[in-house]
Amino acid sequence: MRWFNIFISLTGLVTIMGCSGCRNKSIETSVKTITVSILPQKYMVQKIAGDKFKINVLVPQGSGPETYEPTAMQMQSLSKSTLYFTIGLLDFEKGWHNRISELNPDLTIVNTSDGIELLKGHSDKGKNGHSNGEHDGHHHEGIDPHTWLSLKAVKIQSLTIRDHLISIDPANKDFYTNNQYHFSRQLDSIDALIINKLKTVHSPAFMIYHPSLSYFSRDYGIEQIPIELEGKEPSPTYMCELIDIAKQKKINTIFYSQQFDKRSAEIIATQLKITLSGFDPLAENIEKNLLTITNQIFNSTTK
């Protein structure tokens, strides 16, 4: 009888555990998936959606979105997604857009850069009156995709994200609306800190290897002087011009994106006799990253 009672108890325990496992599995599968292209977008979506969605990021940390190809597992997660938030301007997005649409005809793809005043190429003039975008003999009209490095642009993106979350989950409209409001106020606070920091810089200009801070520069009235444009190395003529510009504007630092090979930047920094400062334009925490970039620019102009 004693062994029978033990058997019954164990059977009940297994049954309870089995039911618990089923319940947990049911909870897990009930959480819908949203796909984003890059980590900064994950940050935006989480700020507004909280934990109501699982977020699938296509470009992982340490990879660049220029030539990235999603893995089979990522494509599988994408196929199960309710929404796909794109930047709409990244090279890999353009290359994969048609294929993703064909494989997932019911997937809603949202371009979060819609409504943002986009920047074309680079139009700052060098001392000889030539556009820095023409140093290789071509005028570049490509759109700068780094919209997430502008707090003003992020606010627009957050509204787009909010509206599409509400469209697929209207029951939580107030939740998403409230979260977006507080996120927007948080962005305003960071914006004020950056304005206060940069208003005291001695020389409102910085030199950068790959011009990924165009929107940031526009927002705060600081000149971005690029060394490389659209993957092309500077010509010897433009190199001489850059040296003159660096001396004239008292620039002592070259900024470079960590996703790019910095060997070319190191060579140029040696020729210009200035230092290098790396940053990650794809860092997940947008606010923290922009404050870090602000401090780097501030420190480079006050040496």
Question: For the segment 88-122, what is each residue's pLDDT rounded down to a tens digit?
Answer: 999 999 999 999 999 999 999 999 999 999 997 54
**pLDDT band of 303, cuts 50, 70, 90:** low
Query: Domain boundary at 199, 224, 239, which?
Result: 199
Does the pLDDT at position 27 exceed 70? no
Give the Cα separation of 178 and 138 in Å (integer).
47
Which amino acid is residue 28, in one-letter code? E
Highest mean pLDDT among 7-11, 169-173, 238-242, 261-265: 169-173
48 within 8 A of 165, measured Cβ to Cβ: yes
Q: What's the CATH code of the domain at 220?
A: 3.40.50.1980
Mark out the alpha helices in 38-172 (DSSP H runs): 39-49, 72-79, 91-103, 151-168
Whether 89 and 66 map to the same domain: the answer is yes
pTM exceeds cut of 0.85? no
Q: What is the DSSP annotation of 242-258? A: HHHHHHHTT--EEEEET
Buried b (16+ CB within 10 A) or exposed e, 152-174: bbbbbbbebbbebbbeebeebee
pLDDT of residue 123: 38
The per-residue pLDDT for range 74-86, each reduced to its tens digit, is 888 899 999 999 9
Q: What is the pLDDT of residues 209-253, one digit of tens each?
A: 989 999 999 999 999 999 886 667 888 888 888 888 888 888 888
Predicted local distance difference test score (pLDDT) of residue 230: 64
Domain extent, residue 228, equals: 201-301
Residue 65, pLDDT score: 85
Q: Does residue 6 form part of some domain?
A: no
Burial class of residue 14 in the structure, from the number of CB atoms within 10 Å of its CB (0-12 exposed, 13-18 middle, 19+ buried):
exposed
Average pLDDT value for the chain:
83
SS3 state at 138: coil
Give residue 14's pLDDT: 40
Q: Which domain-ending residue is among 177, 199, 221?
A: 199
8 A C-beta contact, residue 34 and residue 54: yes
Determine the pLDDT at residue 81.
96
Q: Are residues 266 and 193 in the same domain?
A: no
Give me the number of domains the chain comprises.
2
